[in-house]
Amino acid sequence: MNWSVWSIDRILILFVSLAFLVLGIQVTLFHYRQNFNHKSMWVPVISAPLFFLAGFILTWYNAPWLHTLFLVLMWLGVLDGLIGFYFHFRGVGIRVGGWALRNFLIGPPVGLPLMFSALSVLGLIAVYWGAR
């Protein structure tokens, strides 16, 4: 089953998939800089390219199983981002001086995992929008 038009859900899925490509590159650079000192750092590094591939393929080939896969991956993305936020926020707190402003500036970026979750929510909106 192919797409017949460039509907808003199709455009959003394309945007989300391309955004995960860019976000995945940034996350990989940040976690590489920290030498992947915690195994959980691999989760967004591996999942972001998968999110990109699933969404990009779904943009061109509108198969029901791809919709389901993308839906599941987006829910995992929401969870991944929230868990990442916990680790990043905790990482700021364990620095000398605790949750001081300077630690938020030089410590792990607490906003980046929330962006991961927010982008996943946008993907969910696109999928559920098209399902109505």
pLDDT in tens, 29-63: 999 999 999 999 999 999 999 999 999 999 999 99
Domains in the chain: how many in total?
A: 1
Is position 51 within any domain?
A: yes
Domain span at residue 88? Answer: 8-131
Is position 105 within any domain?
A: yes
Q: How far apart are CA 16 and CA 128, in angstroms?
A: 14
Is position 115 within any domain?
A: yes
Is position 41 within any domain?
A: yes
Q: How far apart are CA 12 and CA 111, in angstroms?
A: 22
Is position 116 within any domain?
A: yes
pLDDT band at 132 (very low <50, low <70, confident <90, very high): low
Is position 2 within any domain?
A: no
Structure tokens at 23: 């976000």
Q: Report how far apart, in Å, the C-alpha atoms of 71 and of each of 56, 92, 123 are.
A: 13, 32, 8
Is position 1 within any domain?
A: no
For position 127, what pLDDT does the model report? 93
